[in-house]
Amino acid sequence: MATSAPTATGRPLAALARLREPWTDRRAELVLGAVSCFVLALIVGMVVFVFSKAWPSFSHNGLGWFGDTGNVNQQMDRIQQPGTAEPVYDFGAFDLIWGTVLTTGVAVLFGAAFSTLAAIFMVEFAPESLRRILTPTVSLLAAVPSVIYGLIGILVLAPFVGDLISQDRKESVAGVISLTGENWLLATFILAVMIIPIMTAIIAQALRQVPRGWTEGAAALGVNRWRVMWTISVRTARPAIVAGAVLATGRALGEAIMLAMVSGGTAFAPNPVDGLTFFLEPTRPLAATIVFYREGLANPAMASTLYGIAAVLLVSAMALSIGAYVVKQPMKKYGIRT
Amino acid sequence: MAAAAPKRTGAVESYSTWRWTDRLALALCWACGIALCVAAASILLYMGFRGLQYLRPELLFERPTGAVDQTKSGGILDPILGTLMLTVLGTAIAIPLAVCVAIWLVEYGRPAGLARAVESGVEIVAGTPSIVLAIFGLIIFQQPWLGWLSFTAEGGGVFGRSLINASIMMSFIALPLVVGATREGLNAIPGHVREASYALGKTKAATIRRVLLPAVRPSIATGTALGMGRIAGDTAIVIILLGNTLLIEPQEGMPVLGLLTGTGSTLTSYVYENSPAGEGGAYEKAYAAAFVLLLVVLVLNFAVARVVGGSSTSRSNLWNR
């Protein structure tokens, strides 16, 4: 390492020539380790920075940040344009959080059931010709960008749904919200279409890795193919179903663009007491709210509020990845890698 | 496997002997499988139909203009170039970092605590929503000492939005995918391959450089293509960190650096802004741009399928001959 190349004359050239020599193990380890530490430092910096920016909003509102402290739309307008010299931080994100929980929860619950059945079909029941189509189909659906899902939602599905809503129903709530085709149910439906391929791929992979002897043993006892799948394979792959659901939840939580386009764009908490109208009410989840108010990032109070939302999303995503790690452990016992 | 398997006949079992609950479940399975195919086919066909209806070849080579009249609002050249530059730059930043991290994690990984921390850090980035990455990038790049990366206003305020800033944050999207694929590739190389290299007197560093890196090249390519697809399809970082100007607007005075520190748009932000959710209601242009975007993403996706399909068999043959 110390021997410099004979052609090198000046100091920078010598340094360059030394770089071209084969690396020693020690140097390789140090350089690679340094790069890894740099990436880690950036990631830790991100978490710290987001929290430090969010602190004014959290400390001002306390636990009320997560509560229902008035109309969120009006609160955010006041944060944006306080009208006084003092910045306003009053904010209670309950409507946004409820919108996120509703869209994500329903999409994941529906998606988990759907993907389990679709994965069973893919692995066990599909004829060979269909099976060959299904694998690329799933990766295609997973690859379509969210803005295209949003575009189809807002230009095709939303007007269609909007026409189905009767005029009476629209007038009955006219003072509070306007019922258009853009509502939480449509957003949830598209969200489900977006997360189902991810879950299906994970579950199908786990089902394929169930030891053959287990399913063949059950079949030899005279159990039919569906019962074999349901009682042996699905039960073995149960952790994979949960892990897939957790991963999909993370995806759904962070989905901003599609939800900003089709969820209705107004902070409103759909109320299950409203009967059928409940399904047609608009909402605006957390991530979509950041997109909605992105022009307000220059305003410190607004920025703090939006970084608060980002911090909540970040913590949820971290909790979910820990959760996914924990639920995958039982699979390792059977020697199944997911 | 001692006894010969019984000969399979065509009708192994008849569904009519199943209990009705089992038959219902089977029907549901079929319904779900068919529904997936129908959803994919309808998205592809509808976007293809709309795309071919509204996409004219000259749109691809014309620069957009801000006209309200849709016959005069120009083409989508700048968004296409924006998508290309952002994708290439983003992966170019991500690949060296990701490969270094993956090699360090698999081949060295000392001290173990640090390795665990790096691993969980990469996991955290993988789970972080891109909108959070976007607004995180905005605070970082608005720091005065990073002002040279973007446009600085006269009062000293840093704009924080530029092509290079967006690419750096985009690389965080590709990073976990490339790290994951490379690690998987490295783990798939049997230990005896490394030992053979050591036995020939190679150092560990030389083994990594001459044996392992060439062997995991297909894995790196897979991760990269997946990452490119994700970058090309991401909207949140573009509308917040790229400045979202319709045209590519380089800073004046510097030939290449000006382009990097200037602002622009991509196909995703063009689609978003031209949909009813954005400012314009120019849905013809949105459909045309979305069609091009879909083609780009699908091509990248099938590149992955080719790489994975081609390598998995050849690699296992290579090592276990």
> What chain A residue is nearest to B269 in terms of C-alpha separation?
A147
Write the pLDDT tens digit of every residue in B186-237. Answer: 999 999 999 999 999 988 888 998 899 999 988 898 899 889 989 999 988 9
Question: Which amino acid type is present at position A94?
Answer: F
pLDDT of residue A27: 84
Domains within chain A, CATH numbers bracketed: 94-333 (1.10.3720.10)
State the Cα–Cα distance between residues A104 and A99, nearest whole angstrom. Answer: 8
Q: Residue A88 corresponds to which tokens in the numbers above? A: 């306003």
Residues facing B158 on adjacent strands: B152
In this prediction, residues B122-146 reach a mean pLDDT of 87
Would you state the pLDDT for residue B277? 77
The confidence score (pLDDT) of residue B286 equals: 87
Q: According to the model, what pLDDT value does residue B16 have?
A: 79
Q: What is the mean pLDDT of residues B180-184?
A: 92
pLDDT mean over B129-156: 80
Q: Which long-range contacts (CB under 8 A, 24 or more apart) does B31-34 make?
A: B31/A117, B32/A114, B32/A115, B32/A117, B32/A118, B32/A121, B33/A117, B33/A118, B33/A121, B33/A122, B33/A125, B33/A126, B33/A130, B33/A134
Token pair listed for A61? 């509102």
Q: What is the model's pLDDT at position B193?
A: 92
Length of chain B equals: 321
Q: For A271, which DSSP code? A: -
Whether pLDDT at B69 is above 80: no
Using a CB-CB cut-off of 8 Å, the residues of chain B touching A126 are: 33
More confident residue, B49 or B76: B49
Dump the DSSP string for A116-143.
HHHHHIIIIIS-HHHHHHHHHHHHHHHH
Residue reference for tokens 């019922």: A179
What is the number of alpha carbons within 13 Å of residue A288 lying toward its C-beta?
31
Check CB contact under 8 Å for A250 and B127.
Answer: yes
More confident site: B317 or B53: B53
DSSP A191-246: HHHHHHHHHHHHHHHHHHTS-HHHHHHHHHTT--HHHHIIIIIHHHTHHHHHHHHH
Assigned token pair, A97: 């959080």
Chain A: residue whose CA lies nearest to B20: A226
Closest Cβ–Cβ partner in A28, A43, A197 for B121? A43
The mean pLDDT value for B138-155 works out to 76
Please check the confidence at residue B321 and state whether its pLDDT lies above 50.
no
Which residues, 6 or more positions from A166, have their beta carbon under 8 angstroms from its beta carbon? none
Q: Which residues does B57 contact at the CB level (< 8 Å), separation at least 6?
A: none
Per the model's pLDDT, the better-predicted residue between A101 and B281 turns out to be A101
Helix, strand, coil: what percent of chain B each, to 5? 70, 0, 25
Residue in A31, A40, A133 nearest the CB of B117: A40
What pLDDT is recorded for position B317?
45
- What chain B holds in terms of domains, given with CATH numbers, is 73-319 (1.10.3720.10)
Contact A148 B293 (CB under 8 A): yes
d(CA B154, CA B152): 7
- Whether the pLDDT of residue B91 is over 90: the answer is yes
Q: Do B294 and A138 touch (CB under 8 A)?
A: no
The letter for the amino acid at A11 is R
Q: Of A50-54, B57-61, B267-271, which gets the smallest average pLDDT?
A: B57-61
- Could you tell me which of A298, A306, A276 has the C-alpha nearest to residue A96? A306
Whether residue A193 and residue B39 make contact (CB cut-off 8 A), yes or no, is: yes
> Whose structure tokens read 């083609």?
B295
* Rounded-to-integer distance, Cα A180 and Cα B276, Å: 13
Quote ipTM for the complex: 0.85
H-run or E-run covering A111 = helix A94-120
Rama region for B205: left / alpha / beta (φ>0; ψ in -120 to 50; rest): alpha
**Interface contact B272-A257, CB threshold 8 A:** yes
Of B155 and A115, the structure prediction assigns the larger pLDDT to: A115
**Can you list the residues of chain A whose pLDDT is less than 50?**
1-9
Using the beta-carbon criterion (under 8 Å), do A226 and B25 form an inter-chain contact?
Answer: yes
Q: Which residues of B touch A27 (CB under 8 A)?
A: 205
Q: How confident is the model at residue B57 (pLDDT cuts 50, 70, 90)?
A: confident
Average pLDDT of the segment spanning B87-112: 92
